[in-house]
Structure 1
Amino acid sequence: MPRNSTGQIVAIVLASLLIIALGALLSMYFGKRAKNSDDWLAAPESLPLGVVVITQFATAVGGGVLIAHVGIAYSSGWSVFAYEGCVLLGFLGLAVVARWLRQQRFTTVPDIISKLFGNSRPVTAVAGIAALIVPFGWLATQFVAFAKLFGELTGIPSPVLILTIMVGSLIFVLPGGLTSVVWTDFVFGIFKIVMSLIVAGYAVYLAGGWGGITEKVPENLWRPSGITAAGGEQIWLWVAAIVPGTLTNQLYFQRVFATKKVSDARRGLVLSGMTILIGGLYAGCIGLAVRAMNPGLSNPEDAAGWLITRLPAVLLVVYGAFLVATIVSTTGAALQSVVANLIRDLYQNVFGRTRGDRATVSLSRMFTAVVALLAAGLAIAFPSALDWLVASYAYSAATLAAPIFVGYLLRGRFTLRPVMALGGMVAGIAGCAAAQLIGTTVPYAVYGISASILALLVLLLVPGRGRPSARSGTGSSGSGAPKNLSTVES
């Protein structure tokens, strides 16, 4: 891909730095709303409906949409909406339990499992690790995506770019944790929506308008029926992989926990799911437009990079700022989520360590810097070998889906105990690993989730492990998330 002129490179770099500086100012301003460690970790009951919707969009639409989803549209047309539809299904699934989630005032996903099954350090440890591996995977892969995109734009070495985006992510998180992340995401999310529509429209214009696309792109890709162009097998694979991953992604749960009004919890998820379709429109228009202009790309995921070379100077610079806003907003959210698990679930609940508010916030900031450096180091050392992180989605979903959703459905009829959650999670991991080793066609997360459900139900029937309950509560005492898991129930 041809390099841009020195003047364009300087302009792109300056625009990127301006976006990071704006993010820093917004983060510091909104970070003042964080008055204690709870605000830093969870921003409880603080987000209006509009902020919840836009920040969910800003979190979900990252480097994957910029590269992989455009590639889907290039090769399979409107089938990209089948992919986005899987995310929407996940959001609708979360909406079913959203009101209850918001009422319980949770901080992290392991809090949910502890509420349902009772306090247990082993359960919290396994659930905490399962919950943090997905956002950590997002963090590392977003660093790599940023380096690849801006490496094409500017020719700057990948390590420099990765360290730059790492600093930008830290700037988003350090002032106020989740409080600063969500409000900054809100501002950047609006910018991302506007830029998505502008860039998508310009791509269609470059291709000669919609007429130019329909003349040069196979009809089965651009017609409404093109939503199935990827083929039934591929679409079902997306359903099996994406829906469970969305249902167990802590990044989405945290926005529900932080909703100001209980009544907005479910509505926010439904509206957030609808905004995800904007990402599909962006990817679809660019993919089809590039297919019309250059149908011979050997790698469909090069479509977005090819379009960049055709953008005029002004739009190229603004697009560079768009890339920064898109990736930094996602990395900041992922970074904060990982630290929330480390502090709340492992440091406090598993190891039983407690500190005052100021000390907890200071420790959270230190953990944030360490996690960011670790992810940056991984991205630099393995810039093209992070595919293994995709497995984090499968293992996380296999570990967490059954305890959360089966536990929610059974909570009023049975006494749920920690051994059931632990057995279900271990079975999920084992089922995932066995299917992966065998090399099954169906995503191994499906086998893991099935094994987890089966183990949980079997343990439910074991005498003394799960019995009909006269009360309509949950398996744990009290309300809300436990602060310190000092005992282990079996």
Structure 2
Amino acid sequence: MPGKSTGQITAIVLASLLIIALGALLSMYFGRRAKNSRDWLAAPESLPLGVVVITQFATAVGGGVLIAHVGIAYAAGWSVFAYEGCVLLGFLGLTLIARWLREQRFTTVPDIISRLFGASRPVTAMAGLAALIVPFGWLATQFVAFAKLFGQLTGIPATTLVLTIMVGSLIFVLPGGLTSVVWTDFVFGVFAILMSLGVAGYAIHLAGGWGEVTAEVPDELWRPQAVFAVGGEQIWLWVAAIVPGTLTNQLYFQRVFATKKVSDARRGLVLSGLTILVGGLYAGCIGLAVRAMNPGLGNAENAAGWLITRLPAALLVVYGAFLVATIISTTGAALQSVVANVIRDLCQNVFGSNRGDRETVSLSRLITVLVAGLAAALAIAFPSALDWLVASYAYSAATLAVPVFGGYLLRKRFALRPAAALSSMLAGIAGCAAAQLADTTVPYAVYGIGASALALLVLLLLPGVGRRPGAPAGTGGAGDADDGAEGTGESLSTVEN
């Protein structure tokens, strides 16, 4: 890296390895709390409120905030908070069903759909694939982000860096699955919050203080109304893309499933959404500071990399450790979520693989290694061609949003059957594909969600398929009897087809 000595680069590498080693020790220590396969897959009823809040932050704030969000702030100032606000809206949306989710003791998102609509292998398979594609996309893109950031810092080849972060992610997950991931995320999340605020403050200091920043940066980027500086059209595009993606992201659902107290389910989501704003403050301060110091960057997303070249040696080493802690928290969470889908939804519920606890955990660990290897291979082969992953958010949201939220809202008024869920999911995929091919201005996820909702309502209103509003209670389907009963997580074996 230009201007950095071999000693400084060595120090950065050693600090990074130290963070990975610390993560390994924490993971092994907390992994001992996983007593069975359910602890490995879902860590049910085990997380205090503070851990839920911090681990949601650690999961959500990864390479996107470190690079892309700083770029948003460089180009459009405090508009980065409009983006973070969309994430907050998604968290608030999840609070509508949070208590019910926690009471039912689910393991994955397809468990929810099976509980609402009844057991169906095609429905579970489709929902399982839709639920795992976003975490897998996160995993691959985080590998790429790590390679790019540390490639600039150290000059180490991208392949070596991708393999390093892959090993670090495996270390986080293998000992105890979600149990080890969330507790390690909690420790690293606290460190990330403190470092975010510290680096943001130093960036403003480096630019000459807030007065110098406001003198150099256009007023429309730093005044309070700058939240809308990016333009109404862009903000609505963010709303249409980010809110549905947050509402259907299994990584967030899993933390709700794992809350120790039912009363913490909603509270944890609200507080978690507020902590996401720390990421906005970090990105906003760095973006504006770099804009003040170097307004001529050709690519806004180079702002974070440019700041790295200006950090003093000691802070650079600590910042390197911060980058590792931030990215590896997200990769570990994403990796475990994918494996939970593969084991729970595909192996157990679709293919009927019934194993004991020990065999299930062993299989989970094997699949963890295979999934990490596949994500690393994609990150190496397509380091700048992962645009298809953006589409995964749209298709996942279009497939899952209506069956989960629509099913929850309509469960007492209609007979919810697997055919309705399957039709809704297929319509969501078709609506997304049609809008994508038509190259619509509005994100194609919106068309997919609309088509999914229309299909669900049509199926429910067909005579003999769904119970009409006002029909006596008890004449409906799978959704009627689940409200007062405590779920077991074994949805396919306890809900009639």
TM-score between both structures, scaled by the size of structure 2: 0.97
1:413 CA drift (Å):
1.2
Q: In the alignment, residue 483 of structure 1 is paired with which amino acid?
A: E
Aligned residue number for residue 475 of structure 1: 478
Aligned pairs for 1:6-25 (under 5 A) are 6-25=6-25
1:276 CA drift (Å):
0.2
How many residues of Structure 1 are paired with residues of Structure 2 in the alignment?
Answer: 490
8 Å CA contact 1:115–1:481 kept in 2: the answer is no
Aligned residue number for residue 30 of structure 1: 30
CA distance in 2, matches of 1:474, 1:319: 54
8 Å CA contact 2:394–2:432 kept in 1: the answer is yes
8 Å CA contact 2:204–2:285 kept in 1: the answer is yes
8 Å CA contact 1:348–1:483 kept in 2: the answer is no
Aligned pairs for 1:18-417 (under 5 A) are 18-417=18-417
Q: Sort the Cα spacing of 1:324 and 1:464 in 2 relative to 1 into closer, same or farther, 3 A.
A: same
CA distance in 2, matches of 1:484, 1:51: 27
Of all paired residues, the percent bearing the same amino acid is: 82
1:484 CA drift (Å):
6.9
CA distance in 2, matches of 1:37, 1:130: 23
CA distance in 2, matches of 1:482, 1:65: 34
CA distance in 1, matches of 2:495, 2:183: 38
1:475 CA drift (Å):
1.6
Aligned pairs for 1:396-475 (under 5 A) are 396-468=396-468, 470-471=472-473, 475=478
8 Å CA contact 1:431–1:451 kept in 2: the answer is yes
CA distance in 1, matches of 2:411, 2:293: 56
CA distance in 1, matches of 2:377, 2:24: 23
1:62 CA drift (Å):
0.3
CA distance in 2, matches of 1:52, 1:70: 26
Question: What do the CA deviations read for 1:450-475 (whole angstroms, capped 9, x no partner)?
Answer: 00000000000112221145337862
1:481 CA drift (Å):
5.4
8 Å CA contact 2:39–2:177 kept in 1: the answer is yes
CA distance in 2, matches of 1:204, 1:474: 58
CA distance in 2, matches of 1:259, 1:485: 23
Partner SS for 1:4: coil
CA distance in 1, matches of 2:169, 2:83: 27
8 Å CA contact 2:248–2:397 kept in 1: the answer is yes
1:485 CA drift (Å):
3.6
CA distance in 2, matches of 1:474, 1:334: 34
8 Å CA contact 1:418–1:489 kept in 2: the answer is no
Q: Sort the Cα spacing of 1:474 and 1:112 in 2 relative to 1 into closer, same or farther, 3 A.
A: farther
Q: Sort the Cα spacing of 1:100 and 1:209 in 2 relative to 1 into closer, same or farther, 3 A.
A: same
- Gaps in structure 1 of 5+ consecutive residues: none
Partner SS for 2:406: helix
CA distance in 2, matches of 1:394, 1:132: 13
Task: Give the superposed CA RMSD.
Answer: 1.4
Q: In the alignment, residue 377 of structure 1 is paired with which amino acid?
A: A
Question: What do the CA deviations read for 1:41-95 (whole angstroms, capped 9, x no partner)?
Answer: 0000000000000000000000000000000000000000000000000000001
8 Å CA contact 1:71–1:302 kept in 2: the answer is yes
CA distance in 2, matches of 1:57, 1:357: 30
1:482 CA drift (Å):
5.5
Q: Sort the Cα spacing of 1:481 and 1:403 in 2 relative to 1 into closer, same or farther, 3 A.
A: farther
Q: In the alignment, residue 285 of structure 1 is paired with which amino acid?
A: C
Question: What do the CA deviations read for 1:232-279 (whole angstroms, capped 9, x no partner)?
Answer: 000000000000000000000000000000000000000000000000
8 Å CA contact 1:120–1:487 kept in 2: the answer is no
1:114 CA drift (Å):
0.5
1:483 CA drift (Å):
3.0
Question: What do the CA deviations read for 1:151-186 (whole angstroms, capped 9, x no partner)?
Answer: 000000000000000000000000000000000000
4+ residue segments displaced more than 6 Å = 486-490
1:428 CA drift (Å):
0.1
- Gaps in structure 2 of 5+ consecutive residues: none
8 Å CA contact 2:478–2:496 kept in 1: the answer is no
Q: Sort the Cα spacing of 1:209 and 1:119 in 2 relative to 1 into closer, same or farther, 3 A.
A: same
CA distance in 1, matches of 2:121, 2:74: 48
8 Å CA contact 2:114–2:492 kept in 1: the answer is no
Partner SS for 1:401: helix
